[in-house]
Amino acid sequence: MSTPFVLMVASSDEHFREMVRDNLMNIPNSKVGSEYQEVSGNLYVRVMQDIERHPNSAVIVDLAGDTEAGLKSLERLKQAVPDLYVIVSHYHADGETVIQSMRLGANDFIMQPMRRTDFRDAMARFERAPKRVVTTESKLGKVYTFLGTKGGVGTTTLAVNFASVLAQRKQSVVTVDLDWTANDVAMQLGASPQTTLSDVADNLGRLDQALFESLATRDALGMYSIGPSDTLEQRSYFSEPMFRDFSTFLIEKYDSTVVDAGKNINDEVVAAACQVSSMVFLVVTQEYASIRNAQRYLAMLMRIGFSQDQVKVLVNRYQKKAGSNFASLEQIKQTLNQPVFYGIPETPAFLSALNKARPLVANRQSAPEIDKSIRAMVDKATKPSSSTAEGIAA
């Protein structure tokens, strides 16, 4: 029995990707982990995110679409993840292409059109290759997405306070508001932005940090935020591929990106945000309607490839008294078949923070106990080996 492995496929050619999928079906214990439709300079960012989930993986890069761009992206990939096993593929096995890709660190080459036996042999070579713990050299940012199971459960409140704590810890932080119906992140931060995600979309092709920071709103805590326009009809302008490019930029340049995803899990941009996230916080309350939705949301997240430990259940407005209207933590855990990551208590302090248009954690004395529990939640989410114990602030 061989160890299970995952293959990532980078090719602009749908036919090529299909061939790989097909061929891999005959190889036991293997599957395609991710497909990248662009062989671009940013490829390494997406690969790095994915190998966090699938440490035993190899990447196959199709150079046939654009040889030069392909070699460039191979170079950056190997710089970022030197131990990654990379197979390249092309129509010509002319000396130059092969030698160049080997110099850039490719581990193997498959000729196109791809023959079944060639593919199988290449997979066998990968399986025999010494397994290295793939560590990444450059440090990529993390994306944390807050997804509400109902309106008013406190998704925006928790996202904003989470981001604020990271900013207070001197991380570079961006909050992205994807709740097109509300634009509440700006409200909770007391900001009145003149620019929106549409401006980001207009400038995606030439986006660098200086330009982005001139478009985003800087908060007193040092973080940047960007969100939708106040006029609802512009939503369609910010598409899923645009979000993917934007998030790649954010992951490359900032320590943390915090997404307020609202509650609309069917939105394709929200789904994409979840997919690029290291953690998705599912915000629930003890109300049955919220728990019921959480069940459906979890099922959907599992369908799009999430593992249980990537989704964290946050119980907001937590009260000890359970009863006919409120589920207990034990009931939530049973119903969702998932541990409760953290509980943030019900408190009027959030409302006074909202009235001041500043995050609760920005004034540490205003509600020390709640402040402490939010910080403990952030600790638990960001500690490398976060314990599995449930953290419930009393």
Q: Pick what 151 binds: Mg ion, ligand ADP, none; C-beta below 5 to 8 Å, kind-dependent.
A: ligand ADP
State in angstroms the smallest separation of the CB of 42 from Mg ion.
Answer: 30
State in angstroms the smallest separation of the CB of 335 from ligand ADP.
Answer: 20
State in angstroms the smallest separation of the CB of 350 from ligand ADP.
Answer: 4
User: What DSSP assignment string belongs to 122-152?
Assistant: HHHHHHHSPP-----SSPPPEEEEEEESSTT
Q: Pick what 239 binds: ligand ADP, Mg ion, none; C-beta below 5 to 8 Å, kind-dependent.
A: none
Please work out the total of residues on this chain that contact Mg ion, with binding judged by CB under 5 A: 3
Nearer Cβ to ligand ADP, position 129 or 232?
232
How far apart are the C-alpha atoms of 104 and 97, rounded to whole Å? 11
CB 277 within 8 A of CB 187: no
CB 126 within 8 A of CB 108: yes
Q: Residue 258's closest CA among 174, 189, 153?
A: 174
30: tokens are 């293997």
Q: Residue 377's closest CA among 307, 279, 294?
A: 279
Q: How many helices (H) and strands (E) does the chain have?
A: 15, 14
330: tokens are 């034990």
Using rule CB under 5 A, residue 156 touches Mg ion: yes
Nearer Cβ to ligand ADP, position 14 or 230?
230
State in angstroms the smallest separation of the CB of 307 from ligand ADP.
Answer: 25
Q: Pick what 347 binds: Mg ion, ligand ADP, none; C-beta below 5 to 8 Å, kind-dependent.
A: ligand ADP
State in angstroms the smallest separation of the CB of 376 from ligand ADP.
Answer: 14
How far apart are the C-alpha atoms of 157 and 373, rounded to whole Å? 14
Nearer Cβ to ligand ADP, position 57 or 285?
285
Q: Of these, 62, 108, 177, 184, which contacts Mg ion (CB under 5 A)?
A: 184
State in angstroms the smallest separation of the CB of 260 from Mg ion.
Answer: 6
How far apart are the C-alpha atoms of 376 and 391, rounded to whole Å? 8
Number of residue whose CB is nearest Mg ion: 156
How far apart are the C-alpha atoms of 393 and 371, rounded to whole Å? 11
Stretch that binds Mg ion, among 108-116, 132-140, 147-155, 274-282 (CB under 5 A): 147-155
322: tokens are 């359970």
Q: Pick what 350 binds: Mg ion, ligand ADP, none; C-beta below 5 to 8 Å, kind-dependent.
A: ligand ADP
Using rule CB under 5 A, residue 247 touches Mg ion: no
Q: Pick what 305 binds: ligand ADP, Mg ion, none; C-beta below 5 to 8 Å, kind-dependent.
A: none
Stretch that binds Mg ion, among 153-161, 251-259, 276-284, 320-328 (CB under 5 A): 153-161
Nearer Cβ to ligand ADP, position 86 or 280?
280
Nearer Cβ to ligand ADP, position 355 or 365?
355
Nearer Cβ to ligand ADP, position 154 or 227?
154
Which are the contacts of 393, defined by CB distance < 8 A and separation ≥ 6?
Answer: 318, 342, 343, 344, 345, 369, 370, 372, 373, 376
State in angstroms the smallest separation of the CB of 228 from Mg ion.
Answer: 12
Nearer Cβ to Mg ion, position 129 or 232?
232
Cis peptide before 113 (omega within 30 of 0): yes
How far apart are the C-alpha atoms of 250 and 89, rounded to whole Å? 30
CB 250 within 8 A of CB 143: yes
State in angstroms the smallest separation of the CB of 157 from Mg ion.
Answer: 8
Nearer Cβ to ligand ADP, position 86 or 354?
354
Residues within the interface to ligand ADP (CB under 6 A): 148, 151-157, 184, 316-317, 344, 346-347, 350-351, 354
How far apart are the C-alpha atoms of 169 and 156, rounded to whole Å? 20
81: tokens are 């993840």
State in angstroms the smallest separation of the CB of 196 from ligand ADP.
Answer: 18
How far apart are the C-alpha atoms of 294 and 247, rounded to whole Å? 25
Residues near Mg ion (CB under 5 A): 155-156, 184
